[in-house]
Amino acid sequence: MKVTVVGAGAVGATCADNIARKELANELILLDIKEGFAEGKAIDMMQTATLLGFDTKITGVTADYSKTAGSDVVVITSGLPRKPGMTREELIGINAGIVKGVAENILKFSPEAIFIVISNPMDTMTYLALKSLGLPKHRIIGMGGTLDSSRFKFYLSQALNCNPNDLQGFVIGGHGDTTMIPLTRLATYQSLPVSNLLDKATLDQVAADTMVGGATLTGLIGTSAWYAPGAAGAALVEAILRDEKKLFTCCVSLEGEYGQQDICLGVPVIIGRSGWEKIIDFKLTEDEQAAFNKSADAVRNMNSVLAEMKLV
């Protein structure tokens, strides 16, 4: 198995580190445009191999896409991260051109690859990859909901004072501070609805904290978070390469599902060896569907910038 991670910044490097530690691939390419940057990080990670006991061979390359040839899965993290006070949406002008160029270069050498998009604004970058690569929709997966659902379970575990691994919880919709929808109604502690254990005000606070989870970290750290985004990317690589058929929320192309089309948005999907394999219908309430539609409107508005930039 061969995996490429494009972008050796904090998110890309953390994703690569997780992939290596879990031995998801024999060969892992870390690519960056900054001279020597990916090489340095790859060597640093390889120098942990005997300490951590993994066999994955990590190679860092500077903008040489031929080295990525034959990748099974490619994770795109390229582009600028957020600064404090900045929304993910403000990155579109800079990151759209970068992501399109990266995706097209990768496709030349890995025509069978499954693409995982992490770059922000993630919903629009996933749509851009879908439109510019012309690949079957199942091979284009945006990571956002996987990360947001993990943050949701973290905040729920804080409120319940419980082990986050005993929780189920999903965030659908866009990967934006105002567009994501933590589905508190469907969240469970083992099989018990969390609404049996937490009052409405607490659940509303958990949802609100989840929605600004990324912004909170950007404010604390001074740049975008990377441990959870990198781990979320690696969890999807794992589900694909191990054909896990696990349920995640991911940003995928909708063709009428959840009442939307011509958009990539976060919905529950099964992830396996062929990418996202099927969308699961959570049967939203009227209010949840209205929130989903509102989220779609905001993302569609953002996607329109791609046409203005003549990228789609």
Q: What residues are labeled active site?
A: 175
Residues numbered 156 to 185 that lie near ligand PYR (CB under 6 A) are: none
Binding segment toward ligand PYR, per CB under 6 A, in 134-142, 188-196, 221-229, 257-265:
221-229
- Is residue 229 involved in binding ligand PYR (CB under 6 A)? yes
* Structure token pair of residue 137: 């929709």
10 is in an annotated binding site: yes
Which residues are within 8 A (CB) of 143 and not within 5 positions of it... i.e. 6 or more apart?
116, 117, 118, 122, 229, 232, 233, 236, 250, 251
119 is in an annotated binding site: yes
Nearer to ligand PYR, 126 or 224 (CB): 224
Residues numbered 79 to 108 that lie near ligand PYR (CB under 6 A) are: 88
- Strands, E, within the chain: which ranges? 2-6, 27-32, 57-62, 73-76, 114-117, 140-142, 167-168, 171-173, 180-182, 188-189, 192-193, 246-255, 261-272, 275-279
Determine which residue in the list 214, 230, 233, 275 makes contact with ligand PYR, applying CB under 6 A.
214
120 is in an annotated binding site: yes
Determine which residue in the list 110, 149, 224, 249 makes contact with ligand PYR, applying CB under 6 A.
224
Determine which residue in the list 18, 68, 71, 120 makes contact with ligand PYR, applying CB under 6 A.
120
Nearer to ligand PYR, 144 or 275 (CB): 144
CB-based burial, 55-88: b 16+ in 10 Å, e otherwise: ebebbbbeeebebbeebbbbbbbbbbbbeeebbb
Binding site listing = 7-12, 32, 82, 88, 95, 118-120, 151
- Residues near ligand PYR, by CB under 6 A: 88, 120, 147, 214, 224-225, 229
